[in-house]
Amino acid sequence: MNFNGIPVQTIHSDLYSEVYNEYFPKVYKYILYRVGDISTAEDLVSEVFEKVLVKFNTYNPGKGKFSTWLFTIANNTIINYFKKNNRHTEPIDLEKVESKYRLEDLIIDRELKELLLKAIMGLDDRQRNVIALKFGACLTNRQIARMVNITESNVGTILYRSLKKLKDILKEQGVVY
């Protein structure tokens, strides 16, 4: 079997659909938190799931959870993107995001999201990565610790300091009092 000209070991389409449906929102949010741009996040998520399809036969349950393997692929994809683009990121274009809110709510929501994303981009890479794994990918501190090779306690410390720094940044912007 070939996928875009790449030989692929057969993976049952139902299994792939199940993986995609379960992990797409988490992977998308994780990548969006890391890169700060919707279209880039969409492209990178597609790349991640293409790699999952192509490399599915290399996953070894004895080495760790599937989610850890998947988010390692996502993290490496982001790292490669940053290397190719000299770490250039652009602010999120929330005009492209559809909303079901009233116009006033949409404007307030968009402004808050822009401010939050700008604040997140003010964190260092390690802090942004842990925040993205925790809140974007909805991973536990234990899963994050295994993934980034630090202790659970260190994950908690990084999260605490990152959230405190985010609050300080948002205070400076007049968002939080």
Check whether residue 66 and residue 37 sit in a common domain. yes
CA max distance for the chain:
58
pLDDT of 6 reads 43
Among 32, 66, 92, identify where a domain stops: 92
Look up the domain containing 53 and give its range.
1-92
Phi (first) and psi of residue 58, to 5 degrees? -90, -10
Check whether residue 23 and residue 77 sit in a common domain. yes
Segment 16-38, tens digit of pLDDT:
778 888 888 889 988 888 888 88
CATH number at residue 144: 1.10.10.10
Check whether residue 55 and residue 121 sit in a common domain. no
Check whether residue 5 and residue 39 sit in a common domain. yes
Check whether residue 72 and residue 150 sit in a common domain. no
Check whether residue 68 and residue 1 sit in a common domain. yes
Q: Do residues 30 and 12 touch, judged by C-beta distance below 8 A? A: no
Query: What's the pTM value of the predicted model, to 2 decimals?
Result: 0.56
pLDDT top residue among 155 and 119: 155
Give the 3-state secondary structure of the chain: CEECCEECCCCCHHHHHHHHHHHHHHHHHHHHHHHCCHHHHHHHHHHHHHHHHHHHHHCCHHHCCHHHHHHHHHHHHHHHHHHHCCCCCCCCCHHHCCCCCCHHHHHHHHHHHHHHHHHHHCCCHHHHHHHHHHHHCCCCHHHHHHHHCCCHHHHHHHHHHHHHHHHHHHHHCCCCC
pLDDT of 32 reads 87
Check whether residue 176 and residue 109 sit in a common domain. yes
Count of domains observed in the chain: 2
Q: Residue 10: pLDDT above 70?
A: no
Q: Residue 3: pLDDT above 50?
A: no
Check whether residue 33 and residue 54 sit in a common domain. yes
Among 92, 114, 141, identify where a domain stops: 92
Among 72, 92, 112, identify where a domain stops: 92
pLDDT of 108 reads 62
